[in-house]
Amino acid sequence: MASGQVRASHILIKHQGSRRKSSWRDPEGRVISATTRDAAVAQLQSLRDDVVSGTAKFDAVASRYSDCSSAKRGGDLGPFGRGQMQKPFEDATYALKVGEVSEIVDTDSGVHIIMRTG
């Protein structure tokens, strides 16, 4: 990784306010368009609780539930530097210690939890 870069995995849940209302899980966008932000947050909070308590592994949850194409890599986004991600996502990632899982982060893409991996 280049100096100043971080590495992270995330779980994204899209909702009706997301800028792109389709994903690999929902190509037509039917579920996403019917999902309120509150419902997306509730689902994500439940997934986060499972990860933080050790009931579920982050990468397994991401592979199954994340609306991002990174799901097939267990949510891994690879290394990135400042200015490459949406600002709220970037700020949250840089604020985490390696191995920590964020609270829920809102972006134009939807709601996320982020685990810093490097």
Check 9, 66, 70, 112 and give the catalytic one. 112
Question: Is position 43 annotated as part of the catalytic site?
Answer: no
Question: Is position 10 annotated as part of the catalytic site?
Answer: yes
Question: Is position 86 annotated as part of the catalytic site?
Answer: yes
Query: For domain 6-116, which CATH number applies: 3.30.70.270, 3.10.50.40, 3.40.50.300, 3.40.309.10?
Result: 3.10.50.40
Residue 41 belongs to what H/E stretch?
Answer: helix 37-53
Check 10, 23, 66, 102 and give the catalytic one. 10
Check 43, 53, 86, 102 and give the catalytic one. 86
Please give the pLDDT value at position 92: 98
Select from 62, 11, 40 the least CA-distant residue to 31: 40
Please give the pLDDT value at position 3: 86
Q: What is the pLDDT along the chain (118 residues), one digit of tens a residue?
A: 788 999 999 999 999 999 999 999 999 999 999 999 999 999 999 999 999 999 999 999 999 999 999 999 999 999 999 999 999 999 999 999 999 999 999 999 999 999 999 9
